[in-house]
Structure 1
């Protein structure tokens, strides 16, 4: 009986000691969390007393801390991008608006010839059209960037879709005296895409190639075991400093094309649509050629 009582007493002491140590560890963890929440430290919870369940709890808390830090960083990044977007949008809108208001003042002058009036009206129309395209592109990009942006994926003969888009640029190529190199196989290559989104991607890339080409444009389509790849390339001025790492960034391109005819949003729109279709888009500059490659996986 005495032996049994001693065993019970020892077991009680062990449990009591374990309880005391675990409670002390919980209090220490609570203090660390308080310091972390009070931004007194960035240190996560560490465990000095071994307990499997408490270690699991500490790990989950530390994982949540990491997720919270990541969420804060992403929020800060989003806020910075939003501020930058507002700055760029206001700048881009101000330019054609200033032009429109300025030429309207010229038209209000008493002494102005019909020829000069016609010239001013033409400038106003061009600025208004640029403003319209700018606003439409910003609106389109904001819609595409939404998580629930709708896609209507369907099986299409992709080579025919590419050719259909290129036929629409026939007059534009002639006007710019560009004879494109087109390498599109006649075999039907079925691919699951959103036809409207895929056409928009191709259109934007062709427009970009024509706008900045110094001579030629090439469009090629090829098939691999796992993907269909569309390559659109054009010659570029060797002195131009094209940063392909930022080429699809809306703000970088907007800055680079602010004085040109484009809004600088064609490539960012193409990238967003490719990502929505689980595709990939990339670019490189080599030997005076800018090459953009779109990849759709089966």
Structure 2
């Protein structure tokens, strides 16, 4: 009987030793794979289980989950880094252009032979260029504040009919000067909704500035309620926005003007979209047969 017990004990010991050696082998292989992860591309960050085993399987699953999160973070980081580089490049370009122009006109002002009328013209151009640069810097600061969360909103009941009418009236002379015919379909009965007044003024102002920059001859603005939600539609004809531009219009530095000759970045619509979404709304853009449309939706 004792020899049998001894044999069983020996076999058990052998099995335990084999299990230990196999477990140790798996741990070593997993460790080797982890050591290689820093040199592997993000898409190859995955640990394989060398040998079957419940404990090791749970460990490997957990590690792979962490590696997947790391992969996602790295992809987002690289995308953001690329976007920042592109923003800096575009910002440098759009600041350099008016700066070069300012230097040229400032040099002309130093020439005593330049007539007074021309001096005034050059001064007006300089002031316009300074306004463009100031708008670019302020827009970037505003976007930076939104990204950092340092952009508080004071939401209170707002009647969009009154607020939208006031902003449109403020831009009336600019629209007339640009020969843009305005058609309004604003429902006075639209209920008050919780919004930030300053943010909404900024949104409407950016929209109208966008029309003045890229619009052609017509602008239609609608305000109404549909399915319990408040909708605002801006629609204008344009020959400066193309179909391929639409998916990128809300990017910070995108502009549909390939030459960027007007010194304007695509910041206006990016700010609009962020302000809308911060207030629980949504914004969609579309272009059909030369008619550019932006649709705002607020409410459940």
State whether TM-score is above 0.5.
Answer: yes
Partner of residue 176, structure 2: 174
Counterpart selection for 2:198 from 196, 199, 202: 196
CA drift of 1:286 comes to 0.6
Partner of residue 33, structure 2: 32
Please identify, of 84-93 and 184-193, the stretch whose mean Cα deviation from structure 2 is larger. 184-193
Number of matched pairs: 297
Partner of residue 121, structure 1: 123
Q: Where do residues 131-150 of structure 1 align in structure 2 (5 Å cutoff)? A: 131-150=133-152
SS of residue in 1 equivalent to 2:152: coil
Q: Residues of 1 paired with 2:236 and 2:54: CA distance?
A: 62
Q: Report if aligned partners of 1:47, 1:55 keep a CA contact under 8 Å in 2.
A: yes
CA drift of 1:213 comes to 1.9
Q: Report if aligned partners of 1:257, 1:264 keep a CA contact under 8 Å in 2.
A: no
CA drift of 1:6 comes to 6.7
CA drift of 1:240 comes to 5.3
1:60 maps onto 2:62 in alignment: yes
1:110 maps onto 2:112 in alignment: yes
SS of residue in 2 equivalent to 1:145: helix
Gap change, CA 1:57 and 1:226, over 3 Å in 2: farther
Gap change, CA 1:65 and 1:97, over 3 Å in 2: same
Provide Cα deviations, 1:142-177, integer angstroms capped at 9, x if missing partner: 222324532333343344433333333333333334
Q: Residues of 1 paired with 2:98 and 2:85: CA distance?
A: 21
Q: Residues of 1 paired with 2:297 and 2:41: CA distance?
A: 48
Q: Residues of 1 paired with 2:73 and 2:168: CA distance?
A: 43
SS of residue in 2 equivalent to 1:125: helix
Q: Report if aligned partners of 2:253, 2:265 keep a CA contact under 8 Å in 1.
A: no
Q: Residues of 1 paired with 2:123 and 2:18: CA distance?
A: 90
CA drift of 1:291 comes to 0.5
Q: Report if aligned partners of 1:209, 1:232 keep a CA contact under 8 Å in 2.
A: no
CA drift of 1:102 comes to 1.1
Counterpart selection for 1:269 from 268, 271, 291: 271
Q: Residues of 1 paired with 2:220 and 2:150: CA distance?
A: 34
CA drift of 1:296 comes to 2.5
Q: Residues of 2 paired with 1:122 and 1:141: CA distance?
A: 29
Please identify, of 104-113 and 27-36, the stretch whose mean Cα deviation from structure 2 is larger. 104-113
Normalised to the residue count of structure 1, the TM-score between the two structures is 0.86
Q: Residues of 1 paired with 2:151 and 2:170: CA distance?
A: 26
Partner of residue 291, structure 2: 289
Please identify, of 268-277 and 8-17, the stretch whose mean Cα deviation from structure 2 is larger. 8-17
Pairwise CA RMSD of aligned residues? 2.8
Partner of residue 96, structure 1: 98
Partner of residue 47, structure 1: 49
Structure 2's unaligned 5+ residue stretches are none
Q: Report if aligned partners of 2:249, 2:266 keep a CA contact under 8 Å in 1.
A: no
Q: Residues of 2 paired with 1:196 and 1:106: CA distance?
A: 41
Counterpart selection for 1:253 from 239, 252, 255: 255
Normalised to the residue count of structure 2, the TM-score between the two structures is 0.86
Gap change, CA 1:153 and 1:51, over 3 Å in 2: farther
Q: Report if aligned partners of 1:210, 1:217 keep a CA contact under 8 Å in 2.
A: no
CA drift of 1:289 comes to 0.6
CA drift of 1:283 comes to 1.0
Gap change, CA 1:226 and 1:27, over 3 Å in 2: farther
